[in-house]
Structure 1
Amino acid sequence: MKLKCISCGHDLATDIQYCPECGNKIEKQPKRKFSKKLITLLSLGLLLVVSFIVFYLVGNSQHNPIHKINSFEEAVLTENQEELTNLLVAYEDSFTITEDNIATLLSFFQENPDSFETIINKLKEEAESYQNGDVPSTSETYATITLEKNGSRWLFFDDYKLVVIPAFIEVFTTDNSVELFIDEEKIDTTVEEGVHEKKYGPFMPGTHVLKALFDNSYASTEEEIEINLFNMDSNSTRQEIEVNVGNFNIVSTFEDEATLFVNDQETDIIINKGSQVVGPFPLSENIEIHLQKEMPWETIISQSEIINDDVQEIRISKVPTISDSEEEKIIQIINDVFLTYTEALNARDVSLLQDHITENMIQTLEEQIEYIEEEIPEYEGTLRKAQYRVDWYQDPEYDEEVEAYVFDIDVMFTYYEPNGNLGRLFKGENDHEYERGVKVFLLYDEQEAEWKIDQFDNRHFFVFEEDPVYELE
């Protein structure tokens, strides 16, 4: 810049002190200074430029899809369930992402590191496509995780999200009345008859356990299937599961009705005489069944049978409602009563006969004592032997008239009667021995819980060597 003399305006050299034209002393011109306002404006402008550059660089880094993928990878490796819950988004809100299904995903990746690597590589390929301005391939894949654009942030940056594409499990079974579980959560109960085929879900990618449980309180069985949902071509996988349950036929010759027992446990199933379908029951567990009938005097138990896959029908034979031990008890009662009855005849004393008898027997004894006193005053008898036709009696039946179970049994009594007899069927082996066939009628007194002899008739029948004999003297 040229200097001029302030006084005359003459052009001056820079290194002189006086103007050669007018002789005045040359004064240096002060430097021009910027105003504070201008400086402030310039500073703010610079700050804005720098801030924008920083904002862009940081924002571009934060919204880089690789950054989100790296965060996902680190969260999986560190098993950070909370971070994964925040990072992952369910496809079209099709299901809720929770820590429980995140745990399923983590467990799957831990057990299948190759699958985890596959997902990471796939996500990076999708990120590279977006960064190159391309749209990643949209091939139909289910039970996977994919990278998707999620609009823009702050007008300048593309936003991305990690989207979980779930899958469904289709269950097929022919088992009836079976409870279905997926990952220990009950999802359904199959119908009582027919085929069950239904789709459940959606579910997080990973390993899931399908369980079919049959439990009818008497017997149970279950079957489990492990299902891997990962990179599927279809949105569902069809799983057939069977626990092998079914019905079977019981043919019973029990009179009236009996209760079914399974593995010695009482059921609420009543089996009537004849053929009856029961079930369903597990057919692969070798279940033991039997019938029980509660009689007032004892419980009658049938022979046990085994049901399994090979058995279509079970035949349960009739069991006598009087067991061998109860039969012995009844025989002892009859022997005791008739021994006492004979003593009462000899003593002409009705009061001697008290136990295990009804009023009918008292009346019969009174009538027979009266007969003896009139017709055979010298009568005296001894009951020596009793032979029972135990294979000939029928099971007790309930008599509505007397309101008790009744039955009869044939007994051949041998008496020693030296002074006249009370009738005979056969002559005995010794003098004055007489065999009399007697049909003894018994009833069960439920109030006193004992068998009682109600009456007896003289009958004509034969006994055989195999019929049991009781010596009574």
Structure 2
Amino acid sequence: MAQLTKHKWLIAIAAAVIVVLAVIWIALSQASKPDRVLEKFENAVKTKDTKQLEGLIVADNPNALVNNTSLQAMIRYLKTNANSYQVIRDGIHNQIKDENYAETNQQISLVQDGKKWGFFPDYKLKVKTVHLKVTGQSDNDQLNVSIGNMKVPEKKESHTYGPLLPGTYQTNVTVKNSLGTFFQKEKKDLWGNSEVSMIVDDSRLAQKSENVQKGILEAIRKFNEDLSVYTTSGLDANKLSNATDSFKEDFSLEQAQFEAIKDYVKK
């Protein structure tokens, strides 16, 4: 009788273990469904919570920075561009419906990335990265660019920055040229293309610069002052304080040539 009771207990324990394992298996299976990835993605955008995207984002370029700043930039873009967000959601919905988890031509797509816990398909969001190309109006412009306060890889010969996760980034540009040093702060949408261009309008920056405006006014004042002295000094080019030595030499030569031929000029 005792032996029979012992067998019953063993059977009961074994059954309980099987039930627990079955429950765990079902729970893990449910947690690994592609719908859960979409749900986390939508909730992350809704609540602006980048932590929900940790471990879900896979960039198409391994050199891309996937961190809180870049994830915030992506969420920021999707929050303010409803049409783009809806296109992404519809695309992922269609992938789940068709059970097609290959990378699509959308900016973000759902892909299968190995196995989770060694048994279940692991689904991730594959993201197409973007490069930002910054140019000045002149080849002599010296540019220094900061994107979201991140250390972004740069191709110095072309001022191309990236790869970056797509999104809306805060950019800070410093421009140095013959007019001075200028600063531009601008939010830039990096989305839709593999490379996005940003042209720094240094003329506009110069027009808005108080230092440049003061410099122009001072140059005009000095020119008028020099012109008055110049005309009362017998057209002595050396009285032009803002003129270069080269200009003064050329002007003196032309003046000497004129003096040599002026008597032959018909009045």
Global fold match (TM > 0.5): yes
Q: Against the structure 1 CA distance between its residues 206 and 263, is the aligned structure 2 distance closer, same or farther, given a 3 Å change threshold?
A: closer
**Which among 111, 114, 117 is matched to residue 148 of structure 1?**
111
**Which among 142, 162, 169 is matched to residue 125 of structure 2?**
162
In 1, the alpha carbon distance for the partners of 2:81 and 2:223 equals 56
SS of the residue 1:94 aligns to: coil
- Give me the CA root mean square deviation: 4.2
In 2, the alpha carbon distance for the partners of 1:264 and 1:243 equals 17
Consecutive unaligned residues of structure 2, counting only runs of 5 or more, are 205-210, 239-267
Equivalent residues of 1:168, 1:200 under 8 A apart: yes
Who is 1:452 aligned against? Answer: none
Who is 1:303 aligned against? Answer: 224
Consecutive unaligned residues of structure 1, counting only runs of 5 or more, are 1-31, 246-260, 266-286, 293-300, 305-315, 324-390, 397-473
SS of the residue 2:224 aligns to: coil
Equivalent residues of 1:105, 1:204 under 8 A apart: yes
Does the alignment pair 1:63 with 2:32? yes
In 2, the alpha carbon distance for the partners of 1:319 and 1:109 equals 64
In 2, the alpha carbon distance for the partners of 1:83 and 1:162 equals 12
Q: Against the structure 1 CA distance between its residues 214 and 319, is the aligned structure 2 distance closer, same or farther, given a 3 Å change threshold?
A: farther
**Which among 174, 190, 194 is matched to residue 229 of structure 1?**
190
Equivalent residues of 2:32, 2:121 under 8 A apart: yes
Q: Against the structure 1 CA distance between its residues 34 and 228, is the aligned structure 2 distance closer, same or farther, given a 3 Å change threshold?
A: same
Equivalent residues of 2:44, 2:50 under 8 A apart: yes
Equivalent residues of 2:103, 2:126 under 8 A apart: no
Does the alignment pair 1:243 with 2:212? no
Give deviations 1:309-360, integer Å, cap 9, x for gaps: xxxxxxx64726xx9xxxxxxxxxxxxxxxxxxxxxxxxxxxxxxxxxxxxx
Give deviations 1:65-117, integer Å, cap 9, x for gaps: 11121012112111113323443333343222222222212221221122222
Give deviations 1:22-64, integer Å, cap 9, x for gaps: xxxxxxxxxx886133212311331233123212211111101
Who is 1:284 aligned against? Answer: none
In 1, the alpha carbon distance for the partners of 2:4 and 2:224 equals 117
Letter in 1 for 2:58: V
In 2, the alpha carbon distance for the partners of 1:291 and 1:229 equals 43
Equivalent residues of 1:151, 1:158 under 8 A apart: yes
The number of aligned residues is: 229
In 1, the alpha carbon distance for the partners of 2:117 and 2:32 equals 11
Does the alignment pair 1:99 with 2:68? yes
**Which among 41, 50, 53 is matched to residue 84 of structure 1?**
53
* TM-score with structure 1 setting the length: 0.40
Who is 1:49 aligned against? Answer: 18
Q: Against the structure 1 CA distance between its residues 188 and 198, is the aligned structure 2 distance closer, same or farther, given a 3 Å change threshold?
A: same
Who is 2:168 aligned against? Answer: 207
Who is 1:72 aligned against? Answer: 41
SS of the residue 2:40 aligns to: helix
SS of the residue 1:97 aligns to: coil
Q: Against the structure 1 CA distance between its residues 154 and 203, is the aligned structure 2 distance closer, same or farther, given a 3 Å change threshold?
A: closer
Rg larger in 1 or in 2? 1
Letter in 2 for 1:170: K
The higher relative CO (CA closer than 8 Å, separation ≥ 6) is in: 2
Which structure has more helix as a fraction of its residues? 2
Aligned runs of 1:64-463 on 2, under 5 Å?
64-130=33-99, 135-141=100-106, 144-175=107-138, 176-183=140-147, 197-208=158-169, 213-215=174-176, 219=180, 227-232=188-193, 235-244=194-203, 287-288=216-217, 290=219, 301-303=222-224, 317=227, 319=229
Equivalent residues of 1:212, 1:242 under 8 A apart: no
Q: Against the structure 1 CA distance between its residues 319 and 184, is the aligned structure 2 distance closer, same or farther, given a 3 Å change threshold?
A: farther
